[in-house]
Amino acid sequence: MARTLKLRIWRGDDTNGALQDVTVDANPGEVVLDIIHRVQATQMGDLAVRWNCKAGKCGSCSMEINGRPRLACMTQVSAYGEDETITITPLRAFPVIKDLVTDVSFNYKKAMEIPSVEMPADLKPGEARMQQVDVERSQEFRKCIECFLCQDTCHVIRDHEENKKSFAGPRFFIRIAELDMHPLDMLRNRKKQAQEEHGLGMCNITKCCTEVCPEHIRITDNAIIPMKERVVDTKYDPIRWLGSKILKREDLIQN
Amino acid sequence: MTSPKLDRYKYDVVVIGAGGAGLRAAVEAREAGLSVAIVCKSLFGKAHTVMAEGGAAASMGNVNDNDNWMVHFRDTMRGGKFLNHFRMAELHAKEAPDRIWELEMWGALFDRTNEGKISQRNFGGHEYPRLAHVGDRTGLELIRTMQQRIVALQQKDAKEFGDSEKFIKVFAELTITEILKDNGKISGAYGYWRESGDEVLFEAPAVVIATGGVGKTFKITSNSWEGTGDGHALALKAGANLVDMEFLQFHPTGMVWPLSVKGILVTESVRGEGGILTNSLGERFMFKYIPDVFKDKYADNEAEADRWYLDQDNNRRPPELLPRDEVARAINAEVKAGRGTEHGGVFLDVSQRISAEVIKKRLPSMWHQFYELAGVDITKEPMEVGPTCHYVMGGVEVEPDSAAAVGVEGLFAAGEVAGGMHGSNRLGGNSLTDLLVFGRRAGMGAVNYVKSHGANPVSESSITKAAARIEAPFARTGGENAYALHQELQEVTHNLVGIIRTEVELVEAIEKIADIRKRSANISVAGTRKFNPGFHLAFDLDNMLLVAESTAKSAVLRQESRGGHTRDDFPGMNSTWRQVNNIASFDGEKVTIKSQQLPVLPKELFDLFDVHELEKYMTPEEIAKGGSN
C-alpha cells in the first residue's frame, strides 16, 4: 500500500540554504504534513516546520508546495502523480528563520495598525440585537484562520519588500471590511483609511488571494471590490455613509 | 557550544498559555493596572481554543427562557457524575452569560435568533438549547475576539503612553521549562525562544498557568502538538497538586479514516443538529446504552427521539445526545462486538435528516473537513467516527474563587489545566465558558495577590539550575531519540490507560512509564538550538511523562467506573468513591497519590436537586445529612 515519495525540501536559514532531496514512504490518505513529520522523526530530527491543529483550522502550516501557497495539512499526497517530485519551500513573501519556518511578524504589526472595533457608548452587555443576515457579511471574514497565504501570494508584496510599509495586504483588507460591515462598529472612515493608510489602491484585483484562501473567503469580490467602490461613493457623499450607519444602529439596539 | 543569550524581563504577572483562559486572565490583570507577559508556544492566535467547534454554554435563555444558572449547574453536576467541585460549577453557571455578552462587546459576532439575540443550540447533557455559537467554528471566534481585545488594549496603551507594549507583551513561540520559586513563593518563570534557542527569564511574583490539555500523551487525539501537559507538569514540579488525573474525556466522535486524520474531531453539533449513530448492521444502537440515571431524560424509541427535534417540551431527548462518556463507551462496545465499520468506527449520519443546504450552513467546517481530508460528502453519505482523546478533566487543584493553586503562593491556574470544574466528565460547550469565567478569576486572583505581596526577586541559583536543564540534552551524544520515546509512551497510554482500564494493565503501564522516564534522562538532541523540533520535544516529553504517571497512578487506585474513567474490573459507580478526590503530588523523583474528601454540597445547592436523583449518586448518610450548612 505504501508508496515511495520523492521530495525536495528547502533547508537553511536567513544566511543561506538549498533544496535537499529526500526519499520517504507515504501511506494512502496522507497529507504533506504527515510526510514532513515522518522525515522529521526518521531522517531530519531538526527540520523546522510550524504546525498546530493538523485539521485546517489554525493556519500554522503554511508553506509553498510545488510553488503554490498551501496548508500542508490540507494537501493530499495523492493529488501528485506517482513519479512526481514534490518540492516544499518556505513562504516567499516573508524572511526565512529556518527551513520551512518564516518570520511572519509583518502581519502582527499590520494588525496593530488597524483601529479596533468601537462599540456604541450607550450599548450595555446583552442588549445588542442584530439580524443573522447582517452579521453574516462580517462573519465570512471572521472565518479567516490567519494562515497568511493570501499575503504570501499577493504580488504587491511577494517580491516587493519596499511595498510592505504602505500595504496591509488582503488579510487586513478583510479585517477592515469586517469592521466596516460590523453592525455595531461606530468608527467612521474605515474605507477611506483602507485607501489612504493601508494601500487598498495598490491592489489591482487579480484575485490571487481569493484563489489560495483555504477558507474560501471571497476576499476580492466581497471585501476589496466593495470597499474600492464605496471609497469613491463616500468621497463625494459622506453624509450618506453616516446616515446609513446611524439608521442601521437604531434598528439594532433594543430600546 | 557557546553559552546562549539570556533575555531578562520583569512583569507583575506572567501568563503561560495564550488560549481563551490565558488571554482572559491577561485582560483582567491589565485592566487592573498590572503589567502582563503573555507567553505562548505557538504564534499568537493559534492556541488550541481555535479547535472548539460546537459552542459556549451559558444559560442566557435566548431560545428557551426556562433556562437559568440553576438548570445549567444541575446539568454540569450530572454530566460530571457529582464529582465536580460544586463551587466551580456554581460560579461557572452563574457567570457564563456575562462572559459571553462581554465577548460581544469586544466585537464577537455570534449567530442570531430571529429576535436578533445570540442564538443557542442543543448539546449533549444540556437540558435546554444553551450553546452560543458561530456555525461550527465557535472556538475561532473566541480566540480571535480575545486576540483582538489584547490588540485593542495595546493600541490604547500606545495612544496613552506611546508604547503598545508598556503593559502587555505577547511572547510568541516561547516555551517555559520551569516555574521559579524563591523564599517559598513564586518568583518567575524560565524558558527558551523556540526560534533561536536563547533563554528567557521572567521575574514576576505571580504566574497564571493556562496551558490547556494533555492529549498528545495519547496516540489518538484531537489535540494539537501543544497539548503536552506542560502546565500540569510545571505545577507539579512547583509543588502544586493535580486532582483526579484519571479522568480523561474520549470524545465519541473523532475521524477514523484516513489514517492521517485519525482522531481529528467531529463536532458534537452534528448530533445536536440531528445526526444519528448506526452500526454496520444499520441499527441505531444508542437506545441500548441509556444508563439508569438518565432514563427519565432520554427517549428509548426512535419515534419519540425524532419528535424531540420538533417538540422539546413533550418528548425526551435522543440518546445520541447523552453525555460524551456514555456515547464513547457505547461506540467502543459496538466496535468490540464486531459491529463496527470497515475502519473500526461507527456511522454518523446527518444526510438523512437535514438538507444539503442546511448542513453546509450549520456545519460548514465539518463539510469542508470530510470533503477535503476524507473525500466524503456528508450531505450525501454518513461519516465514520470513533472515540478520540479530547480533554482532561483532571488538573491543578485550585481555590475556586481565585483560581489560586493550592499549596503554592503566587501560582494560579485556569482553563483545561485546572481540575475540579468538570468532575469526572465535561459537558460539551462548558469548556469555552470555563476558559472565560476562570480565566477572568485567575486574572483577578493574580491582581489581588500581587497588590498584597509585591515583588519577589529571583535568586541566581534558580537561574543557574533552570539554564543547566535546558543545555543538558545538547551535551549528550548517541542517547535516546525523543521522537521514538514519545511514540513508545503513546503506545503504552493507548493500550493500557485508554478508554477501558484494568488493574493488571494499569500496573504494567506504571512500570513502563517509569522505564521510559528513566531512559528519557538520556535523550540527546541533534543540530543546534535554532528552531529545533527535536530539542523542543525533549522538554514536552518530560511533561507528558509526568502527566501519564499521574493518570496511571490515579486510575489504578480508583476502583469504580465513572465519567472518563472506566474500569473493566469495577464496572459500576461507587458512591463511596464519589466522595473522594485523588490528589497527585511530586517529590522530584516520583508521583504519589493521596485520597482527599470532596467538599460537601452546601444545603442551598443540594436542594436544587430531586432527592431521588441524588440517591443514585450519594450514600444514604449523605442524603440524610441533606448537604452542609
Say what the ipTM of the complex is.
Answer: 0.91
Q: What mean pLDDT is reported for chain A?
A: 91
Query: What residue segments make up the domains of chain B, in order of their start?
Result: 256-388, 469-574
Q: List, for residues B34-57, the tens digit of each pLDDT value.
A: 999 999 999 999 999 999 988 999
* Contacts (Cβ under 8 Å, ≥6 apart) of B618: B82, B575, B578
Three-class secondary structure of residue A182 per DSSP: coil
**CATH architecture for residues B256-388:** Alpha-Beta Complex (3.90)
| Chain B residues within 8 A of A128 when measuring between CB atoms | 104-105, 116
Q: Model confidence at B31, in pLDDT bands (50, 70, 90)? A: very high
List the alpha helices (DSSP H) in B221-355: 230-237, 269-272, 302-308, 324-336
**Partner residue facing B155 (CB), from A116, A126, A182:** A116
Q: Is the pLDDT of residue B203 over 90?
A: yes
User: Which chain B residues have a beta carbon less than 8 Å from that of A111?
Assistant: 151
With bands split at pLDDT 50, 70 and 90, how would you rate the model's confidence at A232?
A: low
Flag whether pLDDT at A234 surpasses 60.
no
Cβ-based contacts of B97 with chain A (< 8 Å): 126
- B522 vs B277, B474, B479, B542, CA distance in Å? 47, 11, 5, 11
Residue of B nearest to A113 (CA): B155
Query: Residue B565 forms beta bridges with which residues?
Result: B562
* B43 in A contact zone (CB under 8 Å): yes
Tell me how far apart the alpha carbons of residues B352 and B613 are, in angstroms, rounded to a whole number: 36
3-state secondary structure of B40: strand
Mean of the per-residue pLDDT values of chain B? 95
The one-letter amino acid code at A250 reads E
How high is the pLDDT of residue B583?
98
Tell me the mean pLDDT in the region B389-400.
Answer: 97
What percentage of chain B has pLDDT greater than the value 90?
87
Write down the CATH number for the domain with range B469-574: 1.20.58.100
Q: Work out the pLDDT band at B3, boundaries 50, 70, 90.
A: low
B561 three-state secondary structure: coil
Q: What is the 3-state secondary structure (H, E, C) of B460-515?
A: HHHHHHHHHHHHHHHHCCCCECHHHHHHHHHHHHHHHCCCEECHHHHHHHHHHHHH
Spatial separation of the C-alpha atoms in residues B222 and A55, rounded to whole Å: 9
Cis peptide, bond prior to residue B258, ω within 30 of zero: yes
What's the pLDDT at A240? 54
Contact residues, chain B, for A54 at CB < 8 Å: 224, 261, 264
The nearest CA of chain B is from the CA of A128 a distance in Å of 7
Reply yes or no on whether the pLDDT at B607 is more than 90.
Answer: yes
Amino acid at B243: V
Residue B116: which of A54, A126, A129 has the nearest Cβ? Answer: A129
Contact A46 B105 (CB under 8 A): no
pLDDT confidence bin for B445, thresholds 50/70/90: very high
pLDDT of residue A248: 47
Q: Using the CB atoms, write b or e for B136-146: b if 16+ within 10 Å.
A: bbbbbbbbbbb
Distance, in Å, from the CA atom of A170 to the CA atom of A172, rounded to the nearest integer, reads 5
Does residue B251 carry a catalytic annotation?
yes
Integer Cα distance of B303 and B299 in angstroms? 9
Q: How far is CA B299 from CA B64, B312, B322, B406, in A?
A: 20, 11, 10, 42
Q: Is B72 a catalytic residue?
A: no
Tens of pLDDT, residue by residue over B320-338, are 999 888 999 999 999 989 9
pLDDT 10s digits, B216-234 = 999 999 998 899 999 999 9
- With contact defined as beta carbons under 8 Å apart, do B276 and B320 qualify? yes
What is the distance between the alpha carbons of residues B563 and B552, in angstroms, rounded to a whole number? Answer: 16
**Facing B533 at nearest CB: one of A48, A76, A182:** A48
Percent of chain B residues past pLDDT 70, beyond the cut: 100
Q: In what order do the strands lie in the sheet with B411-413?
A: B168-172, B36-40, B13-16, B206-209, B411-413
Residue of A nearest to B225 (CA): A52
Q: Higher model confidence: residue B260 or residue B197?
A: B197
Inter-residue contact A140 to A218 (CB < 8 Å) = yes
Tell me the domains of chain A and their CATH numbers: 3-102 (3.10.20.30), 105-252 (1.10.1060.10)
pLDDT at A235 over 70: no
Beta bridge partners of A89: A64
pLDDT value at position A254? 40
Residues A11-66 have pLDDT tens digits of 999 999 999 999 999 988 889 999 999 999 899 989 999 999 888 999 999 999 99
Contact A40 B533 (CB under 8 A): yes
Instruction: Work out the average pLDDT over B303-318.
Output: 92
Summarize the confidence of residues A133-162 as an average pLDDT: 97
Q: Please, are residues B382 and B403 in contact by the beta-carbon 8 Å criterion?
A: no
pLDDT band at B136; cut points 50, 70, 90: confident
Average pLDDT over residues A180-187: 96
Which of B226, B259, B374 is nearest residue A27 as measured by Cβ atoms?
Answer: B259
| Distance between A230 CA and the closest CA of chain B, angstroms | 23
pLDDT band, residue A238 (cuts 50/70/90): low
Q: Do B148 and A53 touch (CB under 8 A)?
A: no
pLDDT tens-digit map of B157-192: 999 999 999 999 999 999 999 999 999 999 999 999
